[in-house]
Structures are given as structure tokens and as C-alpha cells.
């Protein structure tokens, strides 16, 4: 607090990078760098990858050590790890992003509705949320995915979609639904505070419908905590998809995301080879990067907004 430095000599204004009018700390700069690097690699994977997706190079070598031809070595069937990593980024990050967006859409709409509508809607939605939360997410998603996947062929034949697309949709749907629950709880709590304010009462007195109240009065004022939660939730989704893939239930071959890469290369660790560490490192790096950015966002918004400051 200002107690100690009330009399301290004043520091000159430090120049630095600013975003939304706030100084970006060093750790946040590192976080942004990691996130943008990942996005860049994800978007330009086809141009950057030395080999095609799932392609086994002509100079077939299993478990090749890192070399000029294969920077990160090759895996059990001779695929180039670097190429797989770049293509895997598209699946890992793309699916997580899609899942998080779905979770947020469901969570925010239901959460705000629970806060605004009558008591019974709130009770029904909240108890249902408690029910879902009482089960461990990983186990719960494993069960649902196993059940749905058992009928996979029937669905695929009936709708004409590809197996891989169906599997992707199942993962996105299930995790999106499960992660909508914590988002629901946050959105409800945030909206409860805003609904009590008089400008919302003024809107209701005017006769505005619930959609206006949600989109014009509540949403713009609840952005900061929701944005911070979005970053955090993205990490969780990303890790959950990786875990599912690691357990063999996520992305199926020939496609690989980072989680399944760790899974399929895991045996190499017993041979003293570094292959599984690259995908694991990529997962860790992106998670840390996103968390650094989220930490900064949280610190910015938890500070008093200080009208005059």
C-alpha cells in the first residue's frame, strides 16, 4: 500500500508496452510471445512442416535421433516428429478453442438467465450444475465418449460424415457441455452482482426484454472476469483433450494431436529416447503461456478501476 512509500521519492514514469491502457508486465509479454508463436505455427503449419501430415518419409527410420533431416527425430513408425507437432497444433489448439467457445456460449446464456429469471429457474439450473460438478470431469467424459463411440459406425453410415469428423464432434460436444458448468457458475455469480444494480432495474422498469438485459446491460459489464476465465478454461480444455488422447479415446490415427503424440511415443522413454518430450513440452509451454497472459489480465481487472486515477 501507499503507507510505506507515502514519502518515498517519486519514480519517473517507466516507458513500456501498454495494452488497454495498462502496462504489460514482462511475464505477460513472454506469455503473449508464446501464444502468438503457437498461433503462427498453427496457421502456417503446411508451409513450415518439412513433411506431410502423417507421411512416412522415404528414408524410413524408426526412433531416429534428432538430426538435420529430422530436427526432433522420428517416431515408432518413422514419421517426422516436427511435422507431426506442427500439424498436431491445428488439432489441439483448434479443437480446444472451439470447445471453449461452445462452453462459454452455453454457460453465459444459462448463467445470465439463472441470475435474471425467477427463483425456480435459478434453483433448477443450479442444482443441475451441482449434479454435473459432483462427478470428476475426466471420468465422466470418458464414460460418455465410450458410450457414444460404441455406436459410431451406425451414426457415420447414417449421416455420411467421416469417422474423424464424428470423433472430433463428440469430443467438442462432451467437453463443451461439461465445461459449460463452471462457466455457468461464474457467469451467474457475476450477473447476480450486476442485476442488483439500479441501471438494470431501470432497464426492467422500462419494460426491456430479457435478451436486451443480457446483451446490453449485463454482458458489457461482465467482460473482464469472463475474459480471464476464458483463458484459464482454454488451458483446462486443452489439457483434458490431451489427457483423453493420451488415454486413447481422443483423436484417432492417422490424425495426431499433442496428447496422442505423447501417448504413442511414450514407450520411447524406456529406451532413453527424447521423442515423447517434445509434444509434452509443447503442451506445457502453451499452457504456461496462456496462464501468464491470464494472470496479467486478472491482475489488471482486480485492481480498482479508479475513475480519477
Partner 1 sequence: MSTTATAQERLGEHVLDVEDLRIEVRTDAGPGPVLVDNVSLKLRQGEVLGLIGESGAGKSTIGLATMGYSRSGCFITGGKIIFRGKDVRTMTREERQDLRGHGVAYIAQSAAASFNPALTLYEQICEIALRRGIMTETEAKADAVRLFKELELPNPEAFGERYPHQVSGGQLQRAMAAMAMITKPSILIFDEPTTALDVTTQVEVLASFRKLIREHGTAALYITHDLAVVAQIADRIMVLRHGKMIEVGDATQILQAPREEYTRRLVAERTVANQNLHLEQADAAKPILEVTNVVASYRSLTKVINDVSIDIKRGDTLAVVGESGSGKSTLARVVVGLLPRSSGDVKFQGESLPAKLQDRTRDQLRRIQMIYQMPDVALNPRQTLLEIIGRPMEFYFGTAKSEIKDQVSEMLRHIDLPESFINRRPGELSGGQKQRVCIARALAAKPELIICDEVTSALDQLVGEEILRLLNRLQEELGVAYMFITHDLGTVRRIANKVAVMLKGQLVAYGETETIFNPPFHPYTELLLSSVPEMRADWLDEVLSKRTGKAR
Binding interface with partner 1 (CB under 8 A): 1-8, 10, 13-14, 23, 197-199, 201-202, 204-208, 216-217, 220-221, 304, 306-309
Q: How far is the CB of 23 from partner 1 (least distance, A)?
A: 6
Residue 33 or 223: the one with the smaller Cβ distance to partner 1 is 223
Residue 49 or 200: the one with the smaller Cβ distance to partner 1 is 200
Q: How far is the CB of 12 from partner 1 (least distance, A)?
A: 9
Cβ-contact 123, 203 below 8 angstroms: no
Q: How far is the CB of 208 from partner 1 (least distance, A)?
A: 7
Q: How far is the CB of 206 from partner 1 (least distance, A)?
A: 6
Q: How far is the CB of 7 from partner 1 (least distance, A)?
A: 5
Residue 119 or 151: the one with the smaller Cβ distance to partner 1 is 119
Sign of the Cα torsion 121, 127, 129, 132 reads negative
Sign of the Cα torsion 233, 234, 236, 237 reads positive
Residue 8 or 158: the one with the smaller Cβ distance to partner 1 is 8
Residue 97 or 195: the one with the smaller Cβ distance to partner 1 is 195
Residue 123 or 143: the one with the smaller Cβ distance to partner 1 is 123
Q: How far is the CB of 210 from partner 1 (least distance, A)?
A: 11
Residue 6 or 271: the one with the smaller Cβ distance to partner 1 is 6
Amino acid at each position: 500500500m501507499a503507507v510505506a512509500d507515502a514519502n518515498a521519492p517519486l519514480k519517473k514514469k517507466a516507458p513500456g508496452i501498454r495494452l488497454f491502457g495498462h502496462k504489460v508486465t514482462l511475464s505477460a509479454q513472454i506469455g503473449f510471445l508464446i501464444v502468438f508463436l503457437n498461433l503462427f505455427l498453427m496457421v502456417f503449419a503446411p508451409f513450415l512442416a518439412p513433411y506431410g501430415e502423417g507421411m512416412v518419409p522415404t528414408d524410413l527410420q524408426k526412433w531416429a535421433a534428432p538430426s538435420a533431416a529430422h530436427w526432433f527425430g522420428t517416431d515408432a513408425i518413422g514419421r517426422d516428429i516436427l511435422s507431426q507437432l506442427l500439424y498436431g497444433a491445428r488439432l489441439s489448439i483448434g479443437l480446444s478453442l472451439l470447445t471453449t467457445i461452445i462452453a462459454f456460449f452455453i454457460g453465459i446464456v444459462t448463467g445470465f438467465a439463472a441470475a435474471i429469471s425467477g427463483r425456480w429457474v435459478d434453483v433448477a439450473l443450479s442444482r443441475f450444475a451441482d449434479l454435473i460438478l459432483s462427478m470428476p470431469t475426466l471420468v465422466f467424459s470418458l464414460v460418455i465418449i465410450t458410450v457414444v463411440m460404441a455406436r459410431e459406425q451406425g451414426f457415420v453410415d447414417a449421416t455420411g460424415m467421416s469417422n474423424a469428423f464424428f470423433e472430433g464432434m463428440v469430443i467438442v460436444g462432451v467437453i463443451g457441455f461439461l465445461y459449460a458448468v463452471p462457466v455457468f457458475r461464474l457467469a451467474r455469480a457475476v450477473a447476480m452482482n450486476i442485476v442488483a444494480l439500479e441501471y438494470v432495474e431501470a432497464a426492467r422498469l422500462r419494460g426491456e426484454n430479457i435478451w436486451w438485459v443480457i446483451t446490453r446491460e449485463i454482458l458489457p459489464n461482465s467482460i473482464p472476469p469472463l475474459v480471464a476465465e476464458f483463458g484459464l478454461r482454454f488451458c483446462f480444455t486443452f489439457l483434458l483433450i490431451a489427457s483423453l488422447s493420451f488415454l486413447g479415446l481422443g483423436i484417432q490415427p492417422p490424425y495426431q494431436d499433442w496428447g496422442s503424440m505423447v501417448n504413442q511415443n511414450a514407450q520411447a522413454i524406456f529406451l532413453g529416447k527424447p521423442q515423447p518430450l517434445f509434444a509434452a513440452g509443447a503442451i506445457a509451454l502453451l499452457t504456461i503461456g496462456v496462464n501468464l497472459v491470464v494472470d496479467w489480465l486478472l491482475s489488471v481487472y482486480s485492481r480498482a478501476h479508479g475513475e480519477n486515477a
